[in-house]
Amino acid sequence: MGRRSQKSSVLMVCVGNLCRSPIAEAVMIDVVKRAGLQGEWHVDSAGIEGWHCGRRPDERALTVLASHNIEYNGRARVLIPEDFTKFDYIFAMDRSNLAALKRMAPHYGTAKLLLLGDFGLKPDERIIEDPYYNVGEAPFVKIYQQCEIACQHFLKQALLKEIL
């Protein structure tokens, strides 16, 4: 069985699409680009809640991304029912996000709903915690590191399954 001709697609999701999911989106795009697969993957992010629609990500997220030479120009958007058929994989950042995704998913949804941290992270590091109310950049650095590991492991596993 050969490779699919259409792009594979990933949607990163957190509560408001300001902190974790934009970092995860930017990191996944970077991981895909470093693998030379940018033409084969579509990556986006969204929030479960629409409170911040149209806003740029948290400045701390943008600063951490910039420190790794990753530019991010996305704006917050809310998850819509069509996302559950448009994307192959929808990644939650924590168990609460995953439970919300499962509740929101229409019966005809085809996306695989997964926890991003289940890819390559140690059991006690699998939850990508919401840093919104924390002070400073340290929690955002940790999120970047978690996403870097998880996105690399996910892409590796996805490619192995595509080759088989």
Catalytic residue among 30, 44, 94, 130: 130
Catalytic residue among 14, 19, 147, 151: 14
Unique residue bearing structure tokens 């919300």: 100
What distance lies between CA 123 and its chain's CA centroid? 19
d(CA 87, CA 121): 23
The residues, any chain, with a CB within 8 Å of residue 54's CB and separated by 6 or more, are 75, 76, 77
Catalytic residue among 20, 58, 60, 83: 20
Residue 89 is inside which H or E element, if any?
strand 89-92
Q: How many residues does the chain have?
A: 164
Active site residue 151: no
Active site residue 75: no
Cβ contact 77:18 at 8 Å: no
The catalytic residue positions are: 14, 20, 130
